[in-house]
Amino acid sequence: MYIKAVSIGRPQLISNQYGQTFKSGIRKKPVQSAFLRFGGFELDGVADLRNHGGDDRAVCFYPFEHYQGWEERTGKSLSIPSFGENLTVTNMLEYNVCIGDVYEVGDTVLQITQGRIPCITIDQSNGIKGMLNEIIRTGKTGFFAKVLLEGEIKPDLELILQERPNPGLNILDLHRLFFHDRENYEEILRVIAVPELANDMRNKFEKLLASKRL
């Protein structure tokens, strides 16, 4: 597992295919190095604080292997980081990354907290309709991490797994539960008890449970 690219960028105004303008941090740019703080990378930012950012979601990952599949499906060349990720990584697909995984990356230490919940900004930024629906269908979402130890991040650094407290809860499992198995209340109760889960994701599951009680 290693870092293919490190990307950062401040939110900017983006125009979609309908002539509408909105602010988003999705259009980041690859850099040779970036310093990672507990709240995220320096010189980086997000516009949608409800779905991105915060200490629990300080770093966004996306698997490099997905790019080829997207290009074949859409017929369009996609440059890194087309999904707004900070770290484009290899050999870290959603089914083999678990909630709570702790990775040493150079001088830093990161812990996986939740899968990414995709939004229509991905379609709008890339000018391709249907990407959001396909991400929801396949679970090719990428994922978030919190920072346990600050430091500099560069491309080509190896990610070394140090701990795996929840081997039975990978990112793809979490995605399927949230999007495709929302009435599996027993499993939801198990998941929200996982201490390493991001608080925002826990809150979303708790709302599902509350709706059951209504």
Residuewise pLDDT in 10s, the chain (214 residues): 999 999 999 887 877 666 778 777 787 999 999 999 999 999 998 877 776 778 999 999 999 999 999 999 999 999 999 999 999 999 999 999 999 999 999 999 999 999 999 988 898 888 889 999 999 999 999 999 999 999 999 999 999 999 999 999 999 999 999 999 999 999 999 999 999 999 999 999 999 999 876 5
- Tell me the three state secondary structure of residue 26: coil
pTM value is: 0.93
pLDDT at position 18 is 65
Domain ranges of the chain: 3-213
How far apart, in whole angstroms, are the C-alpha atoms of residue 192 and residue 147?
A: 21
Structure tokens of 7? 């990307």
- What residue has token string 């303008």? 21
Structure tokens of 156? 């080509």
- Tell me the three state secondary structure of residue 86: coil
Which H or E element spans position 213?
helix 199-213
Cβ atoms of 113 and 144 within 8 Å: the answer is: yes
Q: What is the DSSP string of 39-75?
A: TEETT---S-TTTS-SGGG-EEEEETHHHHHHHHHHS
Radius of gyration, alpha carbons of the chain: 17
Of 108, 105, 89, nearest to 4 by C-alpha is 89
- What residue has token string 């980041």? 28
Helix axes 199-213, 171-180, angle to 10 degrees: 30
**C-alpha dist (Å) from residue 5 to 61, 69, 92, 123, 193:** 10, 18, 14, 22, 34
pLDDT at position 147 is 98
Which H or E element spans position 107?
none
- Tell me the three state secondary structure of residue 137: helix
Selected from 2.40.33.20, 2.160.20.10, 3.50.40.10, 1.10.760.10, the CATH number assigned to the domain covering 3-213 reads 2.40.33.20
pLDDT at position 22 is 73
